[in-house]
Amino acid sequence: MANLDPKAWINFEHARLLLLDDHQQGASILTQIIRAFGVANYIPCSTISEARQSVMEHELHLILINANLKEPGVYEFINWLRRFDQPPNCFAPVILLAGHTARSSVERARDSGANVIMAKPVSPTSVLERVIWAAREKRPYVKCATYAGPDRRFQDLGPPVGLPGRRYDDAHGAQDEPDADSRGAVGG
Amino acid sequence: MSAIFTQWKNPLDAMIRAPGGKRIEDALRQADANLDQIRAPCLADVDLQLDEMERLSNESGAATDDEIKLDIYRRANDIHAVAGVFGLADMSAAAFCLCELMDRLRTQGGWSKPAIDVHLSSMRLLRHPSFEDRSGVVEGLRRLTDKVAPVGAAG
């Protein structure tokens, strides 16, 4: 329990989760873990079509997805979710649980728009750590032609030394001002 | 298209912090107890997947059908995910090695029944906690994969 205080309290009573997993045992493991955390309201989906329907019908606070679905389209589903223009679901934290990832899919997984990519096999501690991390993270969401999801820059270290920043929120040398609805827009 | 940035306050954080709920230590203890309840059926499925992969390997012969490779890859990935949850970390790691081998064989258009069978036999051994001399098995499988299907080999 490296990052968890065992005496701290967690309350998932009012949270609604979506689980997308077509592997019976994998889904069962996740279900047993989140039920132990106190999650009473979860929607199990075994197909992407079911998951899409649930996104359209329910307010979701966290989405757990098996990256190794037999059915193709898991990364496209996350991209669809991020471009689904109905908050809060388009901003719901997504934890992608990945076993072995084929070489052809590594970049797609990274660029899928998930908040966290978590390696299998999971443990209750590792799941809880990632869930709390995903709930607390404050990265803004980005939407542009080639990517939609949480900002992939984890640390704002500023532009390279001696160079002016190109983005309005770079640590140094801000050049552009925000001009979009919420936080800003930057030329792509 | 310009990049649109949106700062979003996730309601889940406030929910988790709300009064009530349970202590983390109790939640984790309950999770372990819940997992114990599904241990037997999950490991029975692991055994079933092993049987099925052996059947696929035996029936394939010298075949290089991508469907068979993908089938073995997926079953090994399922074992990797499940075995590790129930204390079979070495078996899980061996299954991961088999995934890597199958991914490379798929990419390169190759096939090696002997290498696949060595992985499956190793997983059978590592399935049983009574098998003691497990050090080096997984490392040996990694070396085998590198020899049979080195990264960057032509397809």
For position B12, what pLDDT does the model report?
Answer: 96
pTM, two decimals, is 0.87
Q: Which of B52, B77, B151 to mutate to test the interface with A (most CBs of A within 10 A)?
A: B77
Report helix, strand or coil for A159: coil
- At A48, give phi and psi (nearest 5°): -65, -35
Q: Which residue of A has its CA nearest to B28?
A: A124
Query: Looking at residue A105, what DSSP letter applies?
Result: G
For position B153, what pLDDT does the model report?
Answer: 72
B81–A120 C-beta distance less than 8 A? yes
Q: Return the structure tokens found at A12.
A: 């998932």
The C-alpha atoms of residue A41 and residue A15 are separated, in whole angstroms, by 7
The C-alpha atoms of residue A60 and residue A92 are separated, in whole angstroms, by 7
Q: Which residue of B has its CA nearest to A22?
A: B78
List, in sequence order, every beta strand (DSSP E) within B1-155: 3-6, 22-23
Residue B142 forms contact with A (CB below 8 Å): no
For position A175, what pLDDT does the model report?
Answer: 40
For position A85, what pLDDT does the model report?
Answer: 85
Across the 188 residues of chain A, what is the mean pLDDT of every consecutive 10-residue run?
85 98 98 98 98 97 97 96 93 96 84 93 97 93 93 69 63 40 34
Residue B107 forms contact with A (CB below 8 Å): yes
For range B56-62, the mean pLDDT: 84
Q: How confident is the model at residue B152 (pLDDT cuts 50, 70, 90)?
A: confident
Task: Please determine, for residue B82, whether its predicted confidence score (pLDDT) is greater than 70.
Answer: yes
**Cα of B62 to nearest chain A Cα, Å:** 23
Q: Which residues pair with A42 in a beta bridge?
A: A17
The C-alpha atoms of residue A148 and residue A111 are separated, in whole angstroms, by 8
Residue A3 forms contact with B (CB below 8 Å): no
Q: How confident is the model at residue B2 (pLDDT cuts 50, 70, 90)?
A: confident
Q: Which of B28, B82, B106 faces A124 most closely, judged by CB atoms? A: B28
Backbone CA torsion sign across B86, B89, B90, B94: positive
Query: Under a CB-based contact definition with an 8 Å cutoff, are residues A136 and B13 in contact?
Result: yes
Q: State pLDDT tens for residues B92-125.
A: 999 999 999 999 999 999 999 999 999 999 999 9
For position A3, what pLDDT does the model report?
Answer: 78
Which value does ipTM take for this structure? 0.93
Q: Which residue of B has its CA nearest to A135?
A: B13
The C-alpha atoms of residue A100 and residue A119 are separated, in whole angstroms, by 8
For position A107, what pLDDT does the model report?
Answer: 84
Backbone CA torsion sign across A122, A128, A133, A135: positive
Residue B74 forms contact with A (CB below 8 Å): yes
Specify the higher pLDDT residue, A181 or B152.
B152
B12–A143 C-beta distance less than 8 A? no
Residue B65 forms contact with A (CB below 8 Å): no
Q: Which of B1, B15, B83 faces A61 most closely, judged by CB atoms? A: B15
For the stretch A177-183, contacts whose Cβ atoms lie closer than 8 Å and that sit 24 or more positions apart, written own/partner, are: A178/B5, A180/B2, A180/B4, A180/B5, A181/B4, A181/B6, A182/B4, A182/B5, A182/B6, A182/B7, A183/A140, A183/B5, A183/B6, A183/B7
Task: Please determine, for residue B155, whether its predicted confidence score (pLDDT) is greater than 70.
Answer: no
Percent share of chain B, pLDDT over 70: 96
Residue A152 forms contact with B (CB below 8 Å): no
Q: State pLDDT tens for residues B24-55.
A: 999 999 999 999 999 999 999 999 999 999 99
